[in-house]
Amino acid sequence: MPKIIFRLLLSFIVFVTIFIVIKQLVIPNSFGDYGHYRANSIDDNKGRTLYFKGDEKCISCHQDINDLINTDLHSEISCETCHPPKIDADTDCKVNPPKIKGTIEFCAQCHTKNAAREAIGFPNFDIKEHKGDQNCIECHNPHAPWELKE
Amino acid sequence: MGTKRINNNRRNFFKTTAALIGGTIAISIVKPFELIGQSKVEDKSDDKTIKPLWGMGVDIKKCIGCGKCSEACKIENNVPKEPFYFRTWVEQYTVKKDGEVKIESPNGGIGGLKQSVPDEDIFKSFMVPKLCNHCTDAPCVQACPVGATFISPEGVVFVDETYCIGCSYCIQACPYGARFMNPITKVADKCTFCYHRISKGLEPACVEVCPTDARIFGNLRDKKSDLVKFLQKNPTEVLKPHLNTKSRVFYNGLSSEVR
**CATH number where B226 lies:** 3.30.70.20
Q: Which pLDDT score is estimated for B23?
A: 87
Tell which A residues from 44 to 63 touch B, by Cβ distance under 8 Å.
Answer: 44-52, 54
Measured between beta carbons, the chain B residues lying within 8 angstroms of A116 are 63-65, 92, 94, 113, 115, 125-127
Does B36 map to a domain?
no
Does B39 map to a domain?
no
The CA distance from A55 to the nearest CA of chain B, in Å, is: 9
Q: Which pLDDT score is estimated for B32?
A: 57
Regions of chain B with pLDDT less than 50 = 1, 37-45
Does B42 map to a domain?
no
- Whether residue B24 sits in one domain with residue B137: no
Question: CB distance B64–A12 less than 8 Å?
Answer: no
- Whether residue B168 sits in one domain with residue B200: yes
| pLDDT digit string, tens, across residues A118-139 | 999 999 999 888 988 889 999 9
Question: What ipTM was assigned to the predicted interfaces of this complex?
Answer: 0.85
Calculate the alpha carbon distances from B244 to A8, A84, A115, B137 in Å.
51, 37, 33, 8
The CA distance from A84 to the nearest CA of chain B, in Å, is: 7
- Whether residue B74 sits in one domain with residue B202: yes
Does B104 map to a domain?
yes
- Whether residue B86 sits in one domain with residue B9: no
At a CB cut-off of 8 Å and minimum separation 6, what does B255 contact? B60, B93, B95, B124, B126
Select the residue of B77, B124, B150 nearest A36 (Cβ to Cβ). B150
The CA distance from B233 to the nearest CA of chain A, in Å, is: 18
Q: Which pLDDT score is estimated for B35?
A: 52
Q: Which pLDDT score is estimated for B3?
A: 55
Q: Is a pLDDT exceeding 80 seen at residue A91?
A: no
Residue B217 is classified by DSSP as: E
Q: Which pLDDT score is estimated for A1?
A: 78
Domain spans of chain A? Answer: 3-46, 55-148
Question: CB distance B34–A36 less than 8 Å?
Answer: no
Residues A89 and B120: their CA atoms lie apart, in Å, by 46
Which residue range forms the structural domain that includes residue B20?
Answer: 2-30
Which of residues A79 and B6 earns the better pLDDT score? Answer: A79
Q: Which pLDDT score is estimated for A35?
A: 85
- Whether residue B147 sits in one domain with residue B24: no
Q: Which pLDDT score is estimated for A150?
A: 64
Residues B70 and A9: their CA atoms lie apart, in Å, by 62
Q: How many residues does chain B have?
A: 259
Q: Which of B14, B21, B54, B68 to mutate to test the interface with A (most CBs of A within 10 A)?
A: B68
Tell which A residues from 95 to 124 touch B, by Cβ distance under 8 Å.
Answer: 105, 108-110, 112-117, 119-120, 122, 124
Does B244 map to a domain?
yes
Does B163 map to a domain?
yes
- Whether residue B139 sits in one domain with residue B70: yes
Q: Which is nearest to A92 in space by CA: A58, A116, A118, A68?
A: A58
- Whether residue B75 sits in one domain with residue B171: yes
User: Residue A6: how many CB atoms within 10 A of its CB?
Assistant: 11
Residues A68 and A81: their CA atoms lie apart, in Å, by 16
| pLDDT digit string, tens, across residues B181-209 | 999 999 999 999 999 999 999 999 999 99
- Whether residue B59 sits in one domain with residue B22: no
Q: How many domains does chain B have?
A: 2
